[in-house]
Structure 1
Amino acid sequence: MQEEEMCCCHKHKERSEKEYRDLINRLNRIEGQIRGIKGMVEKDAYCPDILIQVAAANAALNSFNKVLLANHIKTCVTDDIRAGKEETVDELVKVLQKLMK
């Protein structure tokens, strides 16, 4: 794997098999939660029960974001800073601002 292939500045990232599997497993669980919420609405479930499940799905998405962000900082951001690509810090700041809305 070449160094350029790992760089996020090309808007592409090759992930290790472990990182890929972890992210996909998390997304599959979130997808299941969303299907469960849809089923609850279709079955006229009690609103607070649905809201609790929505909160759980939001927490799962936030957890996914934390893992993905940590991986991004540890690889792409760190590599770009070492390579003198300071604009990556600006990009990270913009992403963090969007995540904190």
Structure 2
Amino acid sequence: MREFVAKSPGFRAFTRAIIHDPLIFRSHDDIIDFGIGHVLHQFPDTADDLDNFLDYWLNANATDQQLEDLWAASNADFFLIGEAVRPFLARVLEMLREQRGKPSP
């Protein structure tokens, strides 16, 4: 899975910013918002890549295990496993599109 992560500058930029600190972030949405903000403000040219990457993996009939492996290959300092990965990534895509003014279909 590392090869897929390595080919996506948007996913790498997003996951680099993902940390789990309950003193800073009160919810998954707060964590996601921070990661998206990092992408949009520090690496805006990678936002389309992040959108396309997430859209591909969420619509590619990927198994929960494949998504877990994908997440584990990232730089995120936030632990996700099994069935928790898909809804998290779907929420990332939804929030990314909302912030960019491109609502999800």
TM-score, normalising length from structure 2?
A: 0.32
More helix by proportion, 1 or 2? 1
Task: Report which of the two structures shows the higher radius of gyration computed on alpha carbons.
Answer: 1
TM-score, normalising length from structure 1?
A: 0.33
